Amino acid sequence: MKIGELAERSGLNSSAIRYYENKGLLSSPHRVNGQRRYSRDALDRVLLIRFAREMGFTLSETKVFLDGLRDDAPVGPRWKQLAHRKILEVQDNIRRSKQLKSLLEHLLDCHCTSLQICVQRLSLSPRLRSVSRRFRATIVNSGGATHPIS
């Protein structure tokens, strides 16, 4: 199939397909009269590239991901290492997403009389709490005048 057809069927621009080819994620197709002609397998590979990119894989991770998937061999140790690392990233993203959801839900019901009270009630993270404590200590120690905290 021509690059235009591959682009249309995969939902990517032709330039993206050429870019992935240039980066080694997609093998160079044979040419007929100077035009790229891709095999049917190229569509599956491009769809996997698109999926991996949409899921937050870097180009190098996508290459490891694709190189680890073969019909004739089990996945290799590099692929398994990548999978373990990505699972940790996903777990961290889930944790952060839950925090964001909590913050947004709080803001929907917020009746705080000031931003300072709102920040104190949220206490989203230990780092935020320690910054808040240092800030309040600075206010008390300076007689009410605030000074930048380094």
For 3-17, write each residue's pLDDT tens digit: 999 999 999 999 999
Q: What is the number of domains present in the chain?
A: 3
pLDDT band at 93 (very low <50, low <70, confident <90, very high): very high
Q: Do 23 and 54 belong to one domain?
A: yes
Contact (Cβ atoms closer than 8 angstroms) between residue 133 and residue 116:
no
Q: Do 17 and 55 belong to one domain?
A: yes
Q: Do 9 and 56 belong to one domain?
A: yes
Q: Both tokens of residue 95? A: 């944790």
pLDDT of residue 106: 78
Q: Do 21 and 38 belong to one domain?
A: yes
Between residues 140 and 36, which one has the greater pLDDT? Answer: 36
Q: Do 4 and 47 belong to one domain?
A: yes
Q: Do 2 and 59 belong to one domain?
A: yes
Domain with 73, as residue range(s), is 69-109
pLDDT of residue 150: 34
DSSP 3-state assignment of 36? strand
Which residue reads 């206010």 in tokens?
A: 139
Last residue of a domain, one of 14, 35, 67: 67
pLDDT band at 91 (very low <50, low <70, confident <90, very high): very high
Q: Do 45 and 89 belong to one domain?
A: no
